[in-house]
Amino acid sequence: MSKKILVAFATSYGSTREVAEAVAATLRDRGLDADLQPARDVRTLDDYDAVALGAPLAMHRWHKDAHRFLSRHRKSLAGLPVAVFALGPVHDPHDEKEWDDSRAQFDRELAKAAWLEPAAVELFGGRFDPALLRFPVNKLAGSEPASDIRDWEAIRGWAAGLFEATPQPVEPGGGPAAGAP
């Protein structure tokens, strides 16, 4: 049986959902059984062997649905490998100051769930689209130019290293054993 992984995400403007989709697709490519769900819709983790949770940073905070997910499922998560990621920087991918600031924000946010010992923590560049902002956020940030610095290679590379795939039984002849998927 292959491991069953939940990829849970929070999003305000959709870009984290697309990153979570790429994480789930990469896990599936590796033979893992990955489900994708909005974090706020997840009722139980009973079926899962591991969890990846992703959410954007906004106003120096990790999305509230990610925090709620951690609180609600704390008991189950304490016994599972958990990988977490955030989307944050949206300007120059080489602007170290912006990345350091976002990393510090993410660290502070994760420290609120000090009981969590993540198997992996990652920060990815995000997407900013002023056309999607709603009032009153559009009044505060709406004059910034649109950008998308999500690095799909980095995202897939990170997902490719998450969790251990279940080794497939191999027959002495070299091929998969009868009945193996």
Ligand X SMILES: Cc1cc2nc3c(=O)[nH]c(=O)nc-3n(C[C@H](O)[C@H](O)[C@H](O)COP(=O)(O)O)c2cc1C
Using the structure block, give the residue that is written with the tokens 């009973």: 46
In terms of CB distance, is 90 or 110 closer to ligand X? 90
Give dist(CA 56, CA 137) in Å, integer. 15
Least distance CB 65 / ligand X (angstroms): 10
Q: Tally DSSP H helices, then E strands, for the chain.
A: 6, 8
Of 22-30, 53-61, 113-121, 162-170, which part binds ligand X (CB under 6 A)?
Answer: 53-61
Beta pairing class for 50-58 and 82-87: parallel
Give dist(CA 120, CA 157) in Å, integer. 13
In terms of CB distance, is 34 or 57 closer to ligand X? 57
Of 11-19, 65-73, 112-120, 161-169, which part binds ligand X (CB under 6 A)?
Answer: 11-19
The footprint of ligand X (CB under 6 A) covers 11-16, 56-60, 87-90, 102, 105, 126-128, 133, 137, 141
